[in-house]
Structure 1
Amino acid sequence: MSLATQPNASSGAPELIDLPVPVAVGSPAPALPGSPVPPAHRIYFYSPDEWEVFITEWATGVAISYRQIKQLGGSGDRGVDVAAFKTDRGLEDAWDCFQAKHYDGSLTLSDAFPEMLKIFHGVVDAFYSLPDRYVFVAPRGCGPTLNRLLSKPTELRRKFLELLDAGGTATRLYDEQALRSIRELAETSDFSVFQSLELNEMLDIHRKTPYYADRFGTSLPERPPVGPTPEAPAPNEATYVKKLVDVYHEQDPASCSDTDSVAAHATYGAHLQRQREAFYSAEALRLYARDSVPDGTFELLQDDVYTGVVDTAEAHHSSGLDRLRAVLTQSGQLDLGAHRLISVSKLQDRQGICHQLANADQLTWVTDDA
């Protein structure tokens, strides 16, 4: 989840505005001729806005379990580009701040000092509490002097206070009272909150998020094997299994009255089992997609399967079994090559998606005309 900010004329505080979560696109990144471009080199050409989006994606993969991650960079951001909240109280409680700097070169102390001033001023002005971590995030990292200071918090505090007292350009944005308050806060603050991240560290973590393959056009991670189908249908299978029982009952009313009788049927028992295996295969693909590709990727595939089979489902058929067979056959003939998940899917998944659609009451096999 991410937000943008606009200045609030009445209070001067940043106003949070919802931005859409990064979602799937209909097809993977296009293949380019020549040698592959390494992810780090692609990042060097990002715009500042795209760099912030990348950071929000990266933050979803860190070990800390954040309650919410918001993109706040922009006019009136009070020195906060990306905020990661640890509680529902957001900026008023424990949080981490990621300061995005997309420069052509490494960050220097002169780049960092104005941002540190902003964060202390935001605290003394009660816009937010001091973050647990304030991390400078730049594609080309920090220069040697800044890196050394960030590794020695006591020396960093001494240098910050020295620059504060020197009254340079950055301090002229604040009045004397604000500067005194900033100094008092800085004197008692633990400067180990100020840190930096290297791009290779970020890529190692981003690689484990659902965004990596889509962002950099790489192959999807290997899909785990589908587990065994439970012996008895689970509650979440009730709707599509009932629709299958209706199909078998229509064919053999005397022997197929419920799930148990169908399961014991010499012909339809095996057919029901195959349909349930297909459903669980599609469910496994849905769960794989949740962890491997952006939000909405699986739903896009599901929507296209529905679009591809709905006319077949709504056509006249002599029986519900004929309708079911026609729809499952049609699902296997659809051109779904533009979808990101096709590279890790199989025919059984398509059939299982049809049963997911039936479970959602979007498809029905036995109708008034069959």
Structure 2
Amino acid sequence: MGNIKKVDIEEPEIPLIYDLNMGIPVTPIDRISLMSPDDFEKFVSEWAYGYLKPIYSMVKLYGGAGDKGRDVVGYLKNGKIDIYQCKHYDNKLTPTQYWTELGKLCVYTYEKHYGVPENYYIVTSKGIGTKLSDLINDPKGLKRQLISNWKKHCETKINSDKVHILEGELLKHVEKFDFSIIKEVSINTIIDQHSQTIYFKFRFGGGIKKRPRLIMEDPHVDEENNNYVVELFEVYSQDLSKKIETISELKKHKKYYNHFVRQREAFFSVTALKRFIRDEYIGDNVFMDFRTSIYKGIIDVLETDHISNYAKVNQVLQIARSIQIDSRNLPDIFVDDRSGACHDLVNDEKVSWLD
């Protein structure tokens, strides 16, 4: 299994399911039962990052043979911890399969590798069997059974280089241990919690939300410092042979003001698209691929000589609106998104309307 790995929880990669509207026609619980241990670990990582991380001040994933009985640890603001043991089994979990894990919890808290958790949650791919479930609901009975099974399942099996004989202070620790902290989290609960994350659609299918309708407000003075606005105002100034620096000045020139309103709507549309993709598709990569496609489609026209920068803007935007986009991994792409992507490129100083 290798040495212990302890890492801050990182954002998982998008699972390789390309048809988000269909997915694979298998229910989530059945799909989990078919998962390999590695895929189950990825599923747990998605759940921990997407659902648990906002709940705790910090979440860490532990892995490897030396994890000391901790797969996922949620750190509470009061300094205490919750432990989640997430295991992939072929059948429902039995007491015999789990005595060693409970022994680890007792030994490593006794040796102060970590504090006694507020809650110790057992998560398995197939769920917990009746016998173990009954013991979890009877903490004193669970303690008695663990002590009875210690020699066979814990004494030499917690780690390979040390024998943990249940006597003396260790025995006192186990006898005083509050086993009511041990709880089951059903796989259905995990699926429900996972469904509240952005990863669910990629893991199990089901499609994405529809983009909300864009609600525009009137142009505001605060927007005048945006780079794409500054450049458009300079383009208008050149065409008018008159300096335009504010929206109120531009309003006196209906043709150019109406042009600006259209460009502003396009910029807001693509900004909303960027936000929607970030929320629904995990990060900015999908949006950046879309914007790169627009860039590659317009750059030759942008760098061609034009009779004026105003003519350049309009010719480039016309080209942008006609660019065909591979939309398999995208939501609805509107005409304004294509032209808005040009202004987004200007805003990020990737291109310029000015010679």
Identify whether the pair has TM-score above 0.5, normalized to the shorter chain: yes
The equivalent residue for 2:116 is 130
The equivalent residue for 1:169 is 153
CA gap of 1:211–1:266, structure 2 versus 1, over 3 A, is: same
User: 1:54 and 1:284 mapped to 2: Cα distance?
Assistant: 29
Which runs of structure 2 are paired with 1:142-157 in the superposition (5 Å)?
Answer: 142-157=128-143
User: 1:140 and 1:154 mapped to 2: Cα distance?
Assistant: 25
2:29 corresponds to which of 19, 37, 40: 40
2:291 corresponds to which of 299, 302, 318: 302
| Normalised TM-score (structure 1) | 0.82
CA gap of 1:25–1:169, structure 2 versus 1, over 3 A, is: closer
2:62 corresponds to which of 41, 60, 72: 72
1:23 corresponds to which of 4, 13, 34: 13
User: 1:144 and 1:200 mapped to 2: Cα distance?
Assistant: 17
Query: 1:295 deviation in Å?
Result: 2.2
Which runs of structure 2 are paired with 1:177-188 in the superposition (5 Å)?
Answer: 180-188=168-176
Identity of aligned residues (%): 28
State whether residues 6 and 17 of structure 1, in contact with CA within 8 Å, keep that contact through their aligned partners in structure 2.
no
How many corresponding residue pairs?
349
Aligned AA (2:313): L
Q: Which stretches in structure 1 are left out of the alignment for 5+ residues?
A: 8-13
Query: 1:188 deviation in Å?
Result: 2.8
Aligned AA (1:313): L
Q: Does 1:97 align with 2:83?
A: yes
Which runs of structure 2 are paired with 1:241-320 in the superposition (5 Å)?
Answer: 241-254=229-242, 256-296=244-284, 297-320=286-309
Q: Which stretches in structure 2 are left out of the alignment for 5+ residues?
A: none
Query: 1:25 deviation in Å?
Result: 7.2
2:43 corresponds to which of 51, 54, 75: 54
Q: Deviations over 1:1-57 (max 9, x none)?
A: xxxx963xxxxxx45357862234798248889x82222222222221221221122
Query: 1:347 deviation in Å?
Result: 2.2
The equivalent residue for 1:214 is 202
State whether residues 312 and 327 of structure 1, in contact with CA within 8 Å, keep that contact through their aligned partners in structure 2.
yes
Comparing 209-218 with 309-318, which one deviates more in the overlay? 309-318
User: 1:217 and 1:113 mapped to 2: Cα distance?
Assistant: 37
CA gap of 1:229–1:99, structure 2 versus 1, over 3 A, is: same
Q: Secondary structure at the match of 1:69?
A: strand
Query: 1:339 deviation in Å?
Result: 4.9
User: 1:292 and 1:108 mapped to 2: Cα distance?
Assistant: 39
User: 2:248 and 2:176 mapped to 1: Cα distance?
Assistant: 71
User: 1:359 and 1:176 mapped to 2: Cα distance?
Assistant: 64
Q: Secondary structure at the match of 1:99?
A: strand
CA gap of 1:258–1:176, structure 2 versus 1, over 3 A, is: closer
CA gap of 1:334–1:112, structure 2 versus 1, over 3 A, is: farther
User: 1:27 and 1:307 mapped to 2: Cα distance?
Assistant: 27
The equivalent residue for 1:82 is 72
Query: 1:69 deviation in Å?
Result: 3.0
State whether residues 53 and 59 of structure 2, in contact with CA within 8 Å, keep that contact through their aligned partners in structure 1.
no
Q: Secondary structure at the match of 1:354?
A: helix
State whether residues 27 and 340 of structure 1, in contact with CA within 8 Å, keep that contact through their aligned partners in structure 2.
no
User: 1:189 and 1:179 mapped to 2: Cα distance?
Assistant: 14
Q: Deviations over 1:140-198 (max 9, x none)?
A: 1111111222233343333333333xx11332235246765543333333323212222
User: 1:178 and 1:260 mapped to 2: Cα distance?
Assistant: 82
CA gap of 1:339–1:22, structure 2 versus 1, over 3 A, is: farther
Query: 1:62 deviation in Å?
Result: 4.6
Query: 1:359 deviation in Å?
Result: 1.2
User: 1:32 and 1:293 mapped to 2: Cα distance?
Assistant: 16
The equivalent residue for 1:11 is none
| Normalised TM-score (structure 2) | 0.85
The equivalent residue for 2:102 is 116
Question: Cα RMSD (Å) of the superposition?
Answer: 3.1
CA gap of 1:118–1:328, structure 2 versus 1, over 3 A, is: farther
User: 2:27 and 2:17 mapped to 1: Cα distance?
Assistant: 20
1:321 corresponds to which of 306, 310, 319: 310
Query: 1:106 deviation in Å?
Result: 0.8
